[in-house]
Chain A
């Protein structure tokens, strides 16, 4: 038989039951997708893929709800079910381990056979009943009947008590979840003092690790900080980024003229006297270096405050700035 004839028959059948052709087409497409996604739920090896399949199924069902004159329920399905419940699932999956996968070997004897039998049996029994039952003609909701209003009238008019009880249920469920996952400390909490003591005892680094570098153009945690000598501090970048080899190299930035610390070198090389940076202040690329103490103290002083205006915290109190930078690195 040609496809047209099938469609015509479907249309005839559909219109007799009060379901429009478009609805039937939508149903077939969406329904098949839903079933396939549900099958994916069974067969997906990774739990996260299974969750994704279920989300697909739920969205398909939401579409079907909307097509069945239940828009509120369809939106609620997406928002509540897919948006909240499935997200909860995904969160827990992340806690548990996203790449934990089921093995295909079945440990319980005969379980697979029984499962197939039960599944097929259920389909046959329930589907068979549904197939053979003769349903009365579909009445359907009126076109001008506002779904939300109807639901609201029924919910608050006929079932207020159920609503209240459901609210209580939700509160109780939340409390229950908190209670269930409450962990009791078996040992005393290791506070700062204990941590410091253990670090000293172990001989590892006692002070906190330095923070990643903070530069004008780059503020990410993969940029290392520079020590007073201008050397890169490896430990300021998180270990993971280090292990992945994603540390940004300082030479990629605008190269800053790094002042030398030895006083006699400038006279030897004949280079113009470089202003000595105030002790402890790392050179910031792109800004004028502050005048060194003594020689250009007078020149530095006005330059300091002037230069310090856009960067007031750094220049006015170098020691404080260093401390703050050190604090930021934590």
Chain B
């Protein structure tokens, strides 16, 4: 089971790096989805390890919530795009000092 966990860690790190590096807000969102998927993988691996079905249930719920979150998040991105005509996260820097 250890390799699965390590793979999950690697994918999580890649997802985090995507959030930090990319400027397109949709790609950033995709990085977040990748992080969620990595966590799911971890859940399923441990479910198999402990023969506990709750792990898979947790992964299932994560998926559902991720779906809802994507809906709302993309709605926000679209709304921001409509007013600002840009999807770059760097353009929303009004909270600067």
Contact = CB atoms under 8 A, between A and B. Distances in A.
Whether A and B touch (Cβ < 8 Å) is answered with yes
Interface of A: 17, 19, 24, 27, 31, 34-35, 38-39, 41-42, 47, 50-51, 54, 57-58, 61, 64-65, 68-70, 72-73, 76-77, 80-81, 84-85, 88-89, 92-93, 95-96, 100, 102-103, 107-108, 111-112, 114-116, 118-120, 122-123, 126-127, 129-131, 133, 135-136, 138-141, 147, 150-151, 154-155, 158-159, 162, 166, 169-170, 172-174, 176-178, 180-181, 183
Contacts of A41: 14, 18, 27, 30-31, 34
Contact of B77 (A24, A92, A123, A183): A92
Contacts of B50: 139
Contacts of A136: 49
Nearest to B83: A183
Q: Which of B10, B16, B79 has the largest number of chain A CB atoms within 10 A?
A: B10
Interface in B1-46: 1-18, 20-24, 26-27, 29-31, 33-34, 37, 40-41, 44-45
Instruction: Give the secondary structure class of B's interface.
Output: helix
B2 to A, nearest CB: 6
Contact of B14 (A51, A119, A158): A119
A138 B20 contact: no
A126 B57 CA distance: 23
Contacts of A61: 37, 40-41
B95 interface: no
Given A41-B31, A73-B60, 8 more contacts: A68-B45, A70-B47, A70-B56, A115-B20, A140-B51, A147-B56, A170-B68, A181-B82
B66 A73 contact: no
A42 B23 CA distance: 11
A130 B49 CA distance: 14
A141 B1 contact: no
Interface string B46-71: 01111101101101110111111111
A136 to B, nearest CB: 7
Contact of A141 (B15, B31, B51): B51
B74 to A, nearest CB: 5
Q: Which of A88, A114, A116, A180 has the largest number of chain B CB atoms within 10 A?
A: A180
Contacts of B49: 135-136, 138-139
Contacts of B69: 173
B47 to A, nearest CB: 7
Contacts of A174: 71
B16 A173 contact: no
A162 B72 CA distance: 20
Interface of B: 1-18, 20-24, 26-27, 29-31, 33-34, 37, 40-41, 44-45, 47-51, 53-54, 56-57, 59-61, 63-72, 74-79, 81-82, 87, 90
Contacts of B75: 176-178, 180-181
A69 B68 contact: no
A123 B44 contact: no
Contact of B2 (A77, A102, A135): A135
A31 B63 contact: no
Nearest to A69: B48
B63 A76 contact: yes
A85 to B, nearest CB: 5
B20 A85 contact: no
B59 to A, nearest CB: 6
Contact of A118 (B20, B30, B44): B20
Nearest to A95: B78
B20 A119 contact: yes
18 contacts: A19-B1, A34-B11, A47-B24, A50-B30, A51-B30, A68-B44, A76-B63, A96-B81, A100-B24, A118-B16, A119-B13, A119-B20, A126-B9, A135-B49, A140-B48, A155-B57, A172-B68, A181-B75
A34 B59 CA distance: 18
